[in-house]
Structure formats: C-alpha cells, structure tokens
Structure 1
C-alpha cells in the first residue's frame, strides 16, 4: 500500500458489526466500501446515525460507498477485506459461494482478509474453501457491542436517552479494553490492520495470540446455551445449581480439546463454578447502563441462534475425532434442542 493514498477496505456485510467497524475505520481515514445485498441499498443511501451509550450522544457516519455485486471485488485492489458475517451465514450455500468468489478475486494479490465471524476453527475452513494462502488471512472480531435499533429495544437506565436512540440506526457501547481484536494467525495481516484501525483516535484494535483468542471465545457458547434454557436471567441472578455445574463441565470439555493446546488445559484446570460466574457478573457490571443479557437474548438467542448450535456441534465433532466423548456438552446441546422444539 502506497503511503500517499488512503487505505482501501471492503467490509462484507452492513449489519451492526460492519457499520461500527466501518465507522471507526472511516475516522482513521480509510476509504470504506460495503458489499451489501440489494435490499440494503436504500438504507445505506442515507448517513448512518449511531447512538453511543458511553457518552450519550449521536454520531453520523457517512462518506462510505457500497457495491451489491460480489463479482466487482475482482480487480478492485482492496488492501483489506473484512468479512462481517456470522459463522452460520458464511458456511451456508450462499456463504460458500461468496467465499469462493473472494478467493478467486484475491488469490495471488496483496489483498488481506480479516475473518470477522466467530466460529470454531473457522480460519481452517475458510482457507480450504477459498484456496487462499495462510499468510493472507487472519481472524478478527468486534469487541464493541452493537445492535440495530430497528431490530431490538433494550431496557433503558439513566443516563441513556431513549429519544436519541429512537433517532439512531444502530446503538453501541465500547466498554471493553479494545474495540476490535485480531489474532496473530497471520501476523502481517493482523499488525497491518491494527495499525490502520488505531488511527481512529477513539477505539483500539489489539493483536493477540490466536490460541489465547480461541481459548477465550470458544467456551462461551455453552454459557449462552444455558442462558437460553434459563430464560436469559441477568448473570448476577443465575442460580448455580445442577444446570450451572453442567455448563462449567461443558466449558472445560471445550477448553481441553487438543486444538487449544496446553493453554486450554491450563484454562480448564483453573475454571470453577464460582470463578466463571464471577467473571460473567463482572462483564455484566462493566457494561452498565448497556443491558448485557437483554442484548445477549437477542444477539445469541435469536439473531445468531444457528451459529451457536453449529458451534457446539462442531466442538462435539472435534472431540469425537480426538476420542473424547464430551458428555456434558452433548447433553447441554440436547437440552437446548428439546427446549427449542417445545417452545415452537
């Protein structure tokens, strides 16, 4: 990338992750283009209005462009492509076709890929389907919690201003240590993206070891499954009884998978019922006045429900390949599936 021109980044998907990532990249001076479905074009023809819980103010995001045809990726010479789709969408028929199109368009070029989806061992799958080189692709995820105000209404606590939220397209909070994280599966991709993102001046992108990210993220999905069974209570109100013991056993089973190496085994030995509960309560308190569990009910319990189920099944499959029966996780997934049938 020449030092005398703006970085050019394509973001695939203009949901909450795509828009918030684009907003911060725009503040960093990036030329941002979105690849969207045609029905989203009308919405993106107008500036995106964002409500920030952290300062109770509205932000305006404009100055981006968009395309609706994936074939236009070829020859566009983007510096980075950020895939802001969920893991289930990436792996369905349309998603596989898109991944192949990305591979064909960027193979042998200098375009680098950040996989923004969360899914078990997603990068290995993406490399196989796309045919891209390992040094061209890394994992990433948005740590900013964001949602479409048209899809979700969260409970309001002072000083949140509901009249401002009503004017916004998306609402978000950037309360965690970093707003975006990339892992070092491909250090050059990760470090280059972080440098660009961090020029925005208000949110930071961290580069972390890939194993550390996997061990932190993959075991969260049993927690979301159990919350669905319990009706999404606040973390501080969860009763640590039989189901919670099952959750912690499931978390340990995932941590102990060989893909997580020695770090996973160390995490499993340190995971306790009280410790996990305390960590979740701490996360919840940090996010106030943003209602974390109301967000999780929508984000993980509705919007990304398929991703969560498939993630748990993938963990079970990897365990089977390693000769590990994963009894707690299997039973938890069975309970969730039966619960969904009963609720239908």
Structure 2
C-alpha cells in the first residue's frame, strides 16, 4: 500500500465491534466494507446512528459498503481484514468455512488480518485452519464499550439523553486510554493497523505485547462468571466475601498458567482481594455515565455467554496439561453450572 493510497479494509461482522471499528477507520480515511449475513442488509442500507456517552451527541456513519457473499473476498486485495466474530460463531460450521475462505483469499498476498475474537489460544487455531503465514495475523480487541440499542436498554445515568439513545442504532463510550488494542504477535500488522486507526484523530489504537494482552484479558472471565451468580451487582457493592475470595483465587490460578509466563506469576503474587475490588470499582466509576455492570450483564451473560464458558473450560484444560489443580476455578465453574440448571 502506497503512502497516499486509501486503505481498503474488510470488516467481518457488523455488530457493535464491527460498526464502531468501521466508524473510526472511516474517519481515518479508509474505504470500509462489511461482510454481513443477508438479513443484516436492510439495516445497513441506512446510515448507522451512533450515540456517544462521552459528549452526549449523535454521530452518523454512512461511508461504507457491504457484501453478503464470503466468496467475494477472493481477488479483492484488501489491505486489512478485521474479524469481529465471537469465539462460538467463529468456530461453528459457518465460521470454519469462512476462516478457510479468508485463508484461500489472503494466502500469498499482502492482506493482513486483525483477529478480534477473544478466546483462549484463538490465534494458534486460526493460523492452523486458515493456513496463513504467522506474520500475516495479529490479535486485537475493541476497548470502546459499545452495544446495540435495539438489543438491550441499559439503565441511564445522568447526563445521558434517553431521547437521543432512542434514535441511535448503537451507543458507545471511549473512556479508556485506548479505543482499540492490537498485540505484537505480528508487529508489521499491528503497527500498520494502528497507524491507520490513529489517523481518525478522535481515538487511539495501542500496540501492546501479546503476553500483556493475554494476562490482562484471560483472568477477567472468572469475574464475569461470578457476577452472574450474584445477579450482577455493581462492583462497589459486592458483599459476598466468601464468593469474592473464590473469584480472586480463580483469577490468580489463571494468571499463574505457564502460558502467561513470568509476567503472570508476578501479577498473581501482587493480586489481592482488596486490590482487585478497588481496581474494578475504579473502572466502574470511570466508565460513567455508562452503567458498566448492566453493560457487562448484557455482553457477558447474554450475548457472549457460550464464549465465556468455553474460555474458562480452556483455562481448566490448560491447567490440567500443566498439572495444576485449578481447584478454585473448578469450584466456580461447578457453581455456575448449578446456577444455570436452577434458572433454566
């Protein structure tokens, strides 16, 4: 891609991650195309209206194209393909066929992949199935908290404007330091994507070590699973000390997995019940006026529950392979499974 050439970017999926990523890339001057399922075409025929919690205003996202046939990826010579599907969708039969199609289209080309699926060791699996070169694929995730306003109605905190939210297709907040993060599994892919994203001028893409990303994300899943048991209290109000002790023990077990290296072991030594509670409460306060736990309830208990369960099971399997007892995580998963049976 030449210095002044417009970046051609294909985004797989037009959910909240896909739309908000596409919006910022469009502001950066990229030519954005979505690959969507046919039933989503009607919605994308109209501009996407986005409500921003940060300035209490609506944004219009209309500079994009879409395709509905995965076979059209072949021969299109995209500079980047951004995959925004969740782990369960990426690994089912349809997703598996799509990964193979992407592999056939991108193999031997300059097309680069940002794999935005959060799942244990998903990049290794993706490389095996797609047959793409290691240097073509890096991991990434959206740090902007976004959701479909048609899928869920969150409790409102002042100064959120409910009338504006009613007009929006998606709502979001970009309150963290970074709006998007890519890991350095492939520095060329990561640095190139960050340069494009950062040209939006309103959000930032960070490039971080892959190990740092893994050890930050993987231990979060016991927290979300346990919050489901407690019916999603606000972090500042979590009062079940016995269960909280189990959560923190599960977090430390995941941090200590060999895959997280020395960094994980150091974090496990410094992770305490009080310290983790304080950091989560601070995160919750920082995200206002977005109601963080209501958002997490929708995102991790309803929308992506299957992915979360699979992620925790993968952590258990990794621990077993390393001959670690993982007793706290086993107990937590048992409680979650019992809870699901009683509430089904």
TM normalised by structure 2 equals 0.99
CA distance in 1, matches of 2:301, 2:106: 35
Q: CA deviation at 1:341?
A: 1.2
8 Å CA contact 1:70–1:101 kept in 2: the answer is yes
Counterpart position of 1:153: 153
Counterpart position of 1:327: 327
CA distance in 1, matches of 2:92, 2:229: 26
CA distance in 2, matches of 1:136, 1:225: 33
Query: Superposition RMSD on alpha carbons, in Å?
Result: 0.7
Counterpart position of 1:193: 193
Q: CA deviation at 1:217?
A: 0.5
Q: CA deviation at 1:339?
A: 0.6
Q: CA deviation at 1:69?
A: 0.6
- Deviation string 1:316-343 (CA, Å, 9 cap, x unpaired) is 0111111112111111111111111110
Q: How does 1:1-344 map to 2 (within 5 A)?
A: 1-344=1-344
- Find the residue that maps to 1:60 and give its secondary structure: strand
CA distance in 1, matches of 2:323, 2:194: 38
CA distance in 1, matches of 2:245, 2:3: 54
CA distance in 2, matches of 1:94, 1:310: 18
- Find the residue that maps to 2:139 and give its secondary structure: strand
- Deviation string 1:279-302 (CA, Å, 9 cap, x unpaired) is 100100000110000000100010
8 Å CA contact 1:240–1:273 kept in 2: the answer is no
Q: CA deviation at 1:5?
A: 2.2
- Find the residue that maps to 1:288 and give its secondary structure: coil
8 Å CA contact 1:11–1:34 kept in 2: the answer is yes
CA distance in 2, matches of 1:98, 1:247: 36
CA distance in 2, matches of 1:92, 1:321: 25
Q: CA deviation at 1:240?
A: 4.6
- Deviation string 1:114-147 (CA, Å, 9 cap, x unpaired) is 0111111111111111111110000000000000
